[in-house]
Structure 1
Amino acid sequence: MIYLICSVVISSLLFVIFKLFDIYKVHTLPAIVLNYAVALSFGFVHSEASITIADIPDQPWFLGAFILGFLFITVFNVMGITAQKNGLSVASVAGKMSVVIPVLIGIFLYNESIGLVKVVGIILALIAVYLSSAKSDTSPVQFKNLLFPLLLFLGSGSIDTLLKYTETTYVPKEAVPMFLSTIFGCALLFGLCYFVAKFVRKKNSFEWKTLFWGIALGIPNYYSMEFLLKALQTKGLESSIVFTINNVSIVILTTVFALAFFKEKLIKKNWIGIGLAIISILLVVSA
């Protein structure tokens, strides 16, 4: 249970750090690229598997790690933009509602059971993302306010699905740090290519404060993933229970951070959305 608690706290801090990027005017992309360099190094330090770098492309989990690397750098950027433009609570709800995507994948690809409770939970999740993105209680949500939360919802769900499948199917317990390192390394390569392209066109720049914030983001980013995987491997804790506690707790804790430290103001629709988010997660994973 200690791994799960650590995962919740550290994952919530990631949203806070992204919000601080906006406050301290940190360039998101170079900080994210640096964050993956830090996470990569931590993975190598913690690795117990006797695998050399040259052997990594031959591992059965490499393709999954490569795709996850691309998704990580992309979704992390979307998470940062969502936290800055829409607020911590919106980013948290959009990211954590993604638990319905692996459920849907399981239903259609693996013929897992589906019932009324699960269907209701999925519908409530979609409504929750919509309501949590609202800026007014009287006017409908504009597409520009819904775009990034929806992208975060879809991207996070894709990561959860592929991460769980690859880890369960191909990754032995001792290879988890190396698996994570490979994901972070691929994300770093994709991020460097994108950053260099923008830097050459003078659409991005590097400031020394970015180094600090890249490290500040990279350390919790690595441990949030390691603790979550260790929680999933804990005997006596089913994955549905882990994901329930993890996702609901992050939504609640991130909302507390938003209200307490950043004085974010939530309208009635936002509160309803957060409430539906918690209910939907409980329904989906308990059905």
Structure 2
Amino acid sequence: MRRKNFYIWLFFIIFPPLLYSQNVKPLVAIMPFTVQGIPIDEAGLIESLIKSYMGDLGTDVVFLDSAISMDTTYSSGLFRSPEYILSGSILREGENRILMLEFYKQSTGDRVLYTSVHKTLSDLALKTRSLVVSAFDIRSEPERIETEPPEQLTVNKLAGTWRGDAAIQLVRLRRNMGGTAIFTSGVQMNLTYLIENNILKVFQDSPNTERFYHPLPYQVAKRLRAEAEPMRWEFQLYEKGGLLRGKRIETRVRYEGEEILELIPGVERPVEWIKYGR
């Protein structure tokens, strides 16, 4: 049997829209949504709408209680494994209601993160269908070439909430040179940062945990917890203080099944953080 090597970046590139088969619909597994600061009945309404609209997009949908239930449901061979996994969060940030959707393609490890901000529950409910379609059909953007110089960085400009990169739902930066990153897996990472030569440098300030590397196989994530270098980021500021553009620096892993073939530290990939309420 030909051996396949899987190259997984600890952050993920955006995957192209689905190509529908005439006979077999793509199978999407929907995980329970994370809810913060939103009444359960409001969150339940939005979650129900999302599930309904996913079925309208020409997909087969299954609902899971947890990542564990996904493993046990499909290990018997009675069901085909889902091509895509949908997870999401509904949270309140000040007066805003923030919806975050994440589509994960199991065969390639590619990931789409989509975030929208709404003033009211009614506005969010009315626009849920278009949000689901946009998130599920998002396309890669061409590489941007900077035409304007970066802005001057200050602590006051950085303080606030930012939409993170890869598996990070949001980042909160404080004026005391600290911060917090909240991952889609639910885990939080403490951050520290400094400004040096108008470059923002952000550093992981929490011990590694397997949940930083969700949804990699547990044994792979366990090894990364023990051996991966702390994550760090470098940014410059653009678009009137609303966009941090730069790179993420971390350990890349190459693995097969649950066997790690190679760990490569110091890998750089371009990323952006977008400020909420700008």
TM interval, shorter chain, is under 0.3
Choose between structure 1 and 2 for higher RCO, CA contacts under 8 A separated by at least 6 residues.
1
Q: Which has the higher helix share?
A: 1
Q: Which has the higher strand share?
A: 2
TM-score, with structure 1 as normaliser: 0.27
